[in-house]
Structure 1
Amino acid sequence: MNWDDTPEEAAFREEVRAFVQENFPPSYRPDPEGEQSLEPEDVRGYNWAEDRASDDPDRRDGARAWARALAGRGWITPHWPAEYGGAGLSAKEEFILQEELMRARVPTVNGIGAFLLGPTLLVHGTEEQKARHLPGIARGETTWAQGFSEPGSGSDLASIRTRAVRDGDDYVVDGQKVWTSLGQYADWLFVLVRTDPGAEPKHRGITFLLVDTAAPGVTVRPITDLRGAAPFCEIFFEGVRVPVADRVGEENRGWYVAMSALGFERAGIGATIKYEQALHDLVGYLRSAEGRGFARADRDAYRKEIARRHTEIRVLYNLARYTVSKQAAGEEPGFEASVNQLFGAELHQRLARTGARAFGRAGALWDRGNVVPGGDPPDPPNGSAAYQGGSPLNAAFTHMRRDSIAATFLGGTSEIQRNVIATRGLNLPR
């Protein structure tokens, strides 16, 4: 298939590049000590959800100014209709926008609300729910997190135990969610709860609710991971009253709403560009005077390994382009989304190992340096992530290797993805 831009798409790509150059706040600089978020569209050195409430005025004001700039074009929610604050972009234009923001190494805004909840409300929400929640997402004023997984109910999502009991015009919610990405920075949650404990099969007794994190009885506790970062949290619900008006879809039919939301989750370009940039930084570093100090005895074999990673990244890019081509043709991504998820997750781990191997024992150094040859760190949006100093390539691949451990079960385990591919893509029996 021909992935070349049409003249109109090429012009839009140039428009996006010019917009970033002209509108990204110069004071909103990447934090070289910040951990890479586990979300595919997040850019190293930035965490927009956290930055918007930072104690550092440069980060806080920069994050909010960037959101205003994007919102002014409808580009926080580019695929939404204009009446809800979007830009009404085509699937291919949205793809180009995301690709260029990632290539410029600038953060996306309101990712979970914009790309998961918003499209779900557009399909399943009431007009009152759309009018109440969509404008705040589109302006970057309200942030959301996804409350699905529970202790013992991750891959087997239908086994959730958080319970909601109808009491007049409210549901009373009790239970716990865990591994909620960026939940400690969220204003609202979209949550799966069990409303029919005796339903068979189990997924038929689940309801989809919108929950204000400021509601009495909601407790949020960040979880520290093996890197020392806290990209997710656990959330406790104790007698939380949620208005029935904040139910999306029918009672006991929330499973189908949730599957719609997860379908939107698995069709992005962000991870592909991150891997491409990471490999580019690695090759550039190894060709530098400092990097040549890590010359390997198996140089030819290692060159072939890097070539394989490059080829695999191009495959992942083409998988993403194939998915968006189906969307552009009016089709919903099906098992192809699972192919993308599975291949990307395993590539993440292979790329991390390739990068860490380049430096031998020095590839285990964890502390990052903050010195860049030539002086100060480069200005965004076109600055390199390859900060050098106390450890090779600013320990980028040491940290990526830790990041990648969770890749094959975030967003659905590899076993689940293979089952989806087998049954829906290859029509194999269950």
Structure 2
Amino acid sequence: MNWDDTPQQAAFREEVRAFVREKFPAGYKPARDEEQSLEPEDVAGYNWPVDRVSEDPVRRDGARAWARALAERGWIAPHWPSEFGGAGLSPMEEFILHEEMMRARVPTVNGIGAFLLGPTLLVHGTDEQKATHLPPIARGEATWAQGFSEPGSGSDLASLRTRAVRDGDVYVVDGQKVWTSLGQYADWLFVLVRTDPDAEPRHRGITFLLVEADAPGVTIRPITDLRGAAPFCEIFFDGVRVPVANRVGEENRGWYVAMTALGFERAGIGATIKYEQALAGLVAYLRSRDGARFARADADLRREIARRHTEIRVLYNLARYTVSRQATGEEPGYEASVNQLFGAELHQRLARTGARAFGRYADLWERDDAPMNAYWTHMVRDSVASTFLGGTTEIQRNVIATRGLNLPR
């Protein structure tokens, strides 16, 4: 396959690079010690949903200024129609935009609202829901979190128990969600609830609701991870009254809306560039004078680094393949699971390779005076969650087997 840019794509790539150089706020710099997110698509040192409400005025103003600059071009939600604040970019142009932002190490804006919820509303939402929710997302004024997983209902999502009972023109919601990424910073939640407890099969009794994060009866508690950061939370619903107008799709048919949402996974270019830059940084450090003091680069380690480099190129090609299918109007199916599985396991292998280079120095957690500011020590901790974040490896293999290879269940 030929992944070279067409002349039009090359011109757009240069346009993106110039935009970043000219418009990215000079004071909005990466925070070395901030680790609120686990997502491999995020740029190290930035976490836009957190930064936009930071107590540091320089960081807060920088995050908001960057959102305004992107919004003026429709580049927060670049693939959306212009009537809702998007730019109507093609899948390949969106891919190039995200790739160049990652290469420039500047953050994307409005994550899950822009790339999951928004496209779902474009398919299943009412005209009122689109008009109400899409423009604030595209302007960087409203952030969203996904309320799907529950205690005991993660990979087996159809077993969820959060209950919604209709009372006139509202649903009364009771239950709990957990592992909600950045939910404590969200303005809105999109939530799966059970509206028919007797439905068989179970997924037929589920409804998709839009819930204000500060609605009466909603309690959000951050969860601290093994790094001491809080990238996710648990959410409790106690008699929360949600207007029926906030239901997306039909009652008891929310499972199909949710599957639409999960189909809008990113192609994976962000993780690819992040890993590529990390490995290049490791090689440069090992060749430096400082690296010679701490690290060891024996023949086995060199071969391991070469394997990681090859695997990163494979991941890049998987991402390009996925977006090339989208560009021809096809809907990616099991390819998203291939990307997720390969990228998650690569994250862990890459982290181990980097840590191996430093031997016992890789045990240093504090960044000051540690080689490469303990980057690889922290990546090892980050990578632990990769093989169940966004779907366990077992689930991904099942999807690949049944949808990709047509094997029996």
Runs of 4+ in 1 over 4 A off after TM superposition: none
The share of aligned pairs that are identical, in percent, is 83
Paired residue type of 2:18:
A
Q: After superposition, what is the alpha-carbon deviation per residue over 1:89-142, rounded to whole angstroms, capped at 9, x for unaligned?
A: 000000000000011111110001000100000011000000000000000000
Q: Distance in 1 between matches of 2:347 and 2:255?
A: 29
Report if the CA contact (8 A) 1:189-1:211 is conserved: yes
SS at match of 2:380: helix
What is the CA-CA distance between 1:265 and the residue it aligns to? 2.3
**Residue aligning to 2:389:** 410
Report if the CA contact (8 A) 2:36-2:231 is conserved: no
Report if the CA contact (8 A) 1:205-1:253 is conserved: yes
Structure 1 residue 84 and structure 2 residue 63: aligned? no
**Residue aligning to 1:321:** 320
Structure 1 residue 422 and structure 2 residue 401: aligned? yes
Pairing of 1:226-265 with structure 2 (within 5 A)? 226-265=226-265
Report if the CA contact (8 A) 1:276-1:310 is conserved: yes
CA separation of 1:36 and 1:4: change in aligned 2, threshold 3 A: farther
**Residue aligning to 1:349:** 348
What is the CA-CA distance between 1:266 and the residue it aligns to? 4.7
**Residue aligning to 2:165:** 165
SS at match of 2:198: coil
Count of matched residue pairs: 409
**Residue aligning to 1:75:** 75
Paired residue type of 1:324:
V
Paired residue type of 2:404:
G
Structure 1 residue 149 and structure 2 residue 149: aligned? yes
Q: After superposition, what is the alpha-carbon deviation per residue over 1:36-86, rounded to whole angstroms, capped at 9, x for unaligned?
A: 621232111111111111111100100000000000000000000111100
What is the CA-CA distance between 1:4 and the residue it aligns to? 0.4
**Residue aligning to 1:303:** 302
What is the CA-CA distance between 1:263 and the residue it aligns to? 1.1
Q: Distance in 2 between matches of 1:295 and 1:101?
A: 31
Report if the CA contact (8 A) 2:341-2:387 is conserved: yes
**Residue aligning to 1:294:** 294
Report if the CA contact (8 A) 1:266-1:338 is conserved: no
Structure 1 residue 335 and structure 2 residue 334: aligned? yes
**Residue aligning to 2:367:** 368
SS at match of 1:406: helix
**Residue aligning to 1:372:** none
Report if the CA contact (8 A) 2:115-2:266 is conserved: no
Paired residue type of 2:396:
Q
Report if the CA contact (8 A) 1:267-1:333 is conserved: no
Q: Distance in 2 between matches of 1:327 and 1:233?
A: 33
Query: Structure 1 stretch 81-90 or stretch 28-37: which is displaced more?
Result: 28-37
**Which consecutive unaligned segments of at least 5 residues does structure 2 have?**
none
What is the CA-CA distance between 1:294 and the residue it aligns to? 3.4
What is the CA-CA distance between 1:268 and the residue it aligns to? 3.1
SS at match of 1:305: helix
Report if the CA contact (8 A) 2:209-2:247 is conserved: yes
Q: Distance in 2 between matches of 1:107 and 1:347?
A: 22
Report if the CA contact (8 A) 2:36-2:230 is conserved: no
- Given the two structures, how large is their TM-score scaled by the length of structure 2? 0.99
Report if the CA contact (8 A) 1:36-1:45 is conserved: no
Paired residue type of 1:60:
R
Q: Distance in 1 between matches of 2:295 and 2:381?
A: 24
Report if the CA contact (8 A) 1:79-1:87 is conserved: yes
Report if the CA contact (8 A) 2:75-2:86 is conserved: yes
**Residue aligning to 1:127:** 127
RMSD over aligned CA atoms reads 0.9
Q: After superposition, what is the alpha-carbon deviation per residue over 1:268-320, rounded to whole angstroms, capped at 9, x for unaligned?
A: 31111111111011111111100012353x71111010000000000000000
Q: After superposition, what is the alpha-carbon deviation per residue over 1:397-418, rounded to whole angstroms, capped at 9, x for unaligned?
A: 1001000001001111100100
**Residue aligning to 2:180:** 180
